[in-house]
Amino acid sequence: MRNYLKFYIDGHWVDPVTARSIDVINPATEASAGRISVGSAEDVDRAVKAARAAFSSFSQTSVGERMALLERIIAEYKKRYADMAAAITEEMGAPVALAKDAQAAIGLAHLQTALSVLGKYSFQEQRATTLLVKEPIGVCGFITPWNWPINQIACKVTPALAVGCTMVLKPSEIAPFSAQVWTEIMHAAGVPAGVFNLVNGDGPTVGAAIASHPDIDMVSFTGSTRAGIEVARNAAQTVKRVHQELGGKSPNIILADADFKSAVTAGVRGVMGNSGQSCNAPTRMLVPNSRMAEAIAIAKTAAEATTVGDPASGAHIGPVISATQWDRIQRLINKGIEEGATVVAGGPGKPAGLETGYYVKPTVLANVNNRMTVAREEIFGPVLSILGYDTVDEAVAIGNDTPYGLAAYVSGTDPEATRKVAARLRAGQVNINSAAMDLMAPFGGFKQSGNGREWGDHAFGEFLEVKAVLGFAAQAA
């Protein structure tokens, strides 16, 4: 049992102002895996005061000092790598291999990327007699989700640290264990007191207190669009910068000349991975009506080959995060059937033999049109919808017909054709032919998928203000 009942404020583990705790449920067993304290606005205020006090000195540190700090954090992360992976498996049900090779790995990768970017990043530019200076924005509030817990912590904390900001983190109360390990890493690495602070709690209390606090200069939130709207509302009264990475309903356009076996199989795997709990998953597969039967057959085979089971069993996917999420997924699958979709694989209910745990059948729905609920709402589970199109123009129109715009996917053998389709899709990141992840590629969305960008050098700008110093240089004679 993990009992994390203290918060990390001003370089110390401290008791909450009011003693109140909740269970953290292991989604594979439906049993308590530990307890955390639930914070209050008073706890947030203590953390913000510490971060504000630390900003005056930390913001003036040199690039070399911050690079050395990142190097120490990287060294400590490597020491705790196995602990991090185990925490992620326990808190959100990630299969052991996924937790080790992807979930924990990406936290380390963001640290290493920030270190590399910092060594080359320019914080000053002179234009004639004016000097443009990029300065740390100040105290940052971070509200992070449960689906890729350490990814979202690392891709916010590392660039903020790199540019000289201080911060207060509220991780998801559903999956807080990895944040605890991260905080222990930060402490062991010697992050100066007050620079990084952790307060556990829920969104309506701790999250709202962070978003509305007058001494927090910017808030960065990852989660649902609904919750993101509330963060923006709470932040508006203090006119702080708001960065959001929100939901998605990403189209995956498979062109007529694509290698269908490869493209459809990759599309199914892209949805099923992490139990479907990825905001950029290619959940709407668009295929030519003339090749629909072929696509359905391939998708059925791929989905049925996706094994589900205990995270330690070697299965491809584990449970979804909670009973609430399981119920939502079931409701949406049933809604799809009610509205006319055909179950090609999977369907409602739990997989055979997995009565305990929040397990969902890898599901493929065919005969879906873009007006159906399953094509409009983010399901956040291992559920793929297949839609048909007759022309490329129609495919692009369907792909863009969504309130979201986080990611999009295109497959085809003609490079020029795939690039033209990619150029027309309204999404923050477009992937052609299952291209590999690029840690330097900016990540973020159009429309209701949010604003701002994370990852690589683009992330640095989110945590910087630009100051123009006029008359910095003498006027030329």
Strands 130-136 and 284-288: unpaired
**φ/ψ of residue 431, rounded to 5:** -110, 125
How far is CA 78 from each of CA 73, 100, 111, 117, 153, rounded to the nearest angstrom? 9, 12, 11, 20, 16
Strands annotated E in 67-114: none
Greatest pairwise CA separation for the chain in angstroms: 84
Phi, psi dihedral angles at 388 (to 5 degrees): -105, 160
For residue 139, give the nearest of 255, 220, 202 by alpha carbon: 220
CA gap 361, 374 in Å, rounded: 16
Cβ atoms within 10 Å of 394's Cβ, excluding its own: 14
Query: Active-site residues: which are they?
Result: 245, 279
**Cα 85 to the chain's mean position, in Å?**
17
| CA dihedral over 31, 35, 40, 43, signed as positive or negative | negative
CB within 8 Å of 70: residues ≥ 6 apart:
111, 114, 115, 118, 158, 161, 162
Contact assessment for residue 406 and residue 427, using Cβ atoms and an 8 Å cutoff: yes
When computed from its CA atoms, the radius of gyration of the chain, rounded to whole angstroms, is 23
